[in-house]
Structure 1
Amino acid sequence: MRIGFFDSGIGGISILNEVMKYFPREDFLYYADTLNVPYGTKTKEEVNQHVKAAVENILKEDVKALIIACNTATSISINELRSAYDIPIIGMEPAAKPAIKLSNLMQKKVLVFATDLTLKEVKYRDLIAKIDKHSIVDSLPLPELVEFCEELNFNWNTLNTYFKTKLQDFDLSTYCTVVLGCTHFPYYKPILKELLPSHIQLVDGSKGTIKRLSILLKDNNLLNENGTNDILFKCSDQSNAYIEKMKDALSALENELNKPKRKHLK
């Protein structure tokens, strides 16, 4: 049986990459909803319909647990999915809680990068209202970054200009952490580490996801000791070209092919 991953596109491969390291004896299924990517610019109703249809397709395979490796899909559909299916389903949300904890210690602020839809969703607003006691969280929508990622655009001159433009109105000296609140965004950790002041830490949801997955697999006696880290890639438009793109995206993460050169960032 496989651990399933779902995202609208290749973003969730950043989470798959981390989970594979932690569970070397598991096998995996990665499903991308390529017919409907990106989700971040669609309505809540549209996203919910797309997610439910995709999960129905995923569960036709031999899947023992499912990670919704998409912050937008989690914010909209996770409760409905958990009510409908009896396998462990793990959602992802911007890792604001550990970022706030760190920033409170440093007496600085938190900046959350996410899609427009995630930032507008009630689930996200309720999360921030609950944990942001000192109003230190700011947010920045970066929908174009999803498009860059889907195009495997790792052109550092382009990205350098993009990030500097988006961040020009922020006094980065007042921030301690940046939350990567979309699974597409960790692809760009290398350039962000170059561009952002050295005191800023990047936080994403991969550690929390791994911890939760480990607990659920153990509690449900679902751990595999015989897997080989095999991955089955699937997508909703059944495109062989996109499946190759998913493999390329995983290779980019494994080999750090997207690591920038400093000369590109001057």
Structure 2
Amino acid sequence: MQIGLFDSGIGGLTVLAEALRRLPDKDFLYMADTLHVPYGTKSKEDVRAFVFEIVDKMMNEGIDALVVACNTATSIAIAELRERYSLPIVGMEPAVKPAVEMNLATGKRVLVFATPLTLSLPKYYALVSSVDKMGIVDSLPLPELVQYCEALQFDKQVMNEYFLTKLSSYNLDDYGIIVLGCTHYPFYKDILRELLPPHIEIVDGNAGTVRRLAALLNRYGIPESGGGGSVRFMCSGNDPAYIDKMQTALAMLRGTETISESRST
């Protein structure tokens, strides 16, 4: 039993880290589309082609379930993926619904961080329209943040300056929750927690995605046990240095390596 996860780069490792916590007895294959990272600044048509190319490669590796660990790729291709392949498939979407529900009682607004492509797609507008009856959701594209993450740039001074610049036109007292709508963004949770006012909560869709994966495996009759908790890394660019980067980033997320150590690798 092998569960496949893919993203354009290291962002989906935030989902993998959660999956390893929730499903420690499963074996995982993680694929990064390093030839085309980032997805969030490219055209819808290009990303769709990239996604099917990657999933075909993963199918050839014998995966039994698939997690599209990328909000942008999910928005563009999840329906077609489910039509083409018969295995369990789980996608991502920004955690707007729980954020809105959590904020209704407070009167605070919700701010969604995401890639420009995710925010431009009908799927995102449909999601927000379906849950945001009070008009409390605002959206902020952060196209540079994926590139920072891919470079393992976690210097607090650099990132604080970046976030403060992006948030300069927002009154943060008005907001109760920030949604991290790209799987790269949770790498910056700790930096954001120190930077943002203490009343603002930070949420992402990773835990919910893994819960859906576990439920879907159960529905397909696939037991939660039955593996060794191994992780195999692949990337479309066949770059050994990038494999090392993914191992470093996952170790950081799992608490076995510090952010400063990962930057010096």
- Please give the TM-score of this superposition, normalised by the length of structure 2: 0.96
> For structure 1, which segment, 100-109 or 111-120, has the greater mean C-alpha deviation from structure 2 after superposition?
100-109
Q: How does 1:180-191 map to 2 (within 5 A)?
A: 180-191=180-191
Is residue 147 of structure 2 the alignment partner of residue 140 of structure 1?
Answer: no
Q: Which residue number corresponds to residue 4 of structure 1?
A: 4
Secondary structure of the 1:215 match is: helix
Q: Which residue number corresponds to residue 153 of structure 2?
A: 153
Deviation at 1:236, TM superposition (A): 0.4
Q: How does 1:240-259 map to 2 (within 5 A)?
A: 240-255=240-255, 257-258=258-259
- What code does the residue aligned with 2:153 have? N
Q: Which residue number corresponds to residue 193 of structure 1?
A: 193
Deviation at 1:227, TM superposition (A): 1.6
Secondary structure of the 1:105 match is: coil
Question: How many residue pairs end up in the alignment?
Answer: 259
Q: Percent identity?
A: 52
Deviation at 1:223, TM superposition (A): 2.1
Gaps of 5+ in 1: 260-266
Secondary structure of the 1:63 match is: coil
Aligned structure 1 segments of 4 or more residues deviating by more than 6 angstroms: none
Secondary structure of the 2:110 match is: strand
Deviation at 1:257, TM superposition (A): 1.8
Q: How many angstroms apart in 1 are the aligned matches of 2:130 and 2:210?
A: 24
Q: How many angstroms apart in 2 are the aligned matches of 1:117 and 1:145?
A: 14
Q: How many angstroms apart in 2 are the aligned matches of 1:257 and 1:98?
A: 30
Q: Which residue number corresponds to residue 264 of structure 1?
A: none
Deviation at 1:118, TM superposition (A): 0.2
Q: Which residue number corresponds to residue 112 of structure 2?
A: 112
Q: Which residue number corresponds to residue 169 of structure 1?
A: 169
Q: How many angstroms apart in 2 are the aligned matches of 1:74 and 1:173?
A: 32
Q: Which residue number corresponds to residue 90 of structure 2?
A: 90
Q: How many angstroms apart in 2 are the aligned matches of 1:113 and 1:14?
A: 16
Secondary structure of the 2:105 match is: helix
For the 8 Å contact 2:218–2:224, the answer to whether it is kept is no
Deviation at 1:224, TM superposition (A): 4.6
- Please give the TM-score of this superposition, normalised by the length of structure 1: 0.95
Deviation at 1:161, TM superposition (A): 0.4
For the 8 Å contact 1:64–1:222, the answer to whether it is kept is no
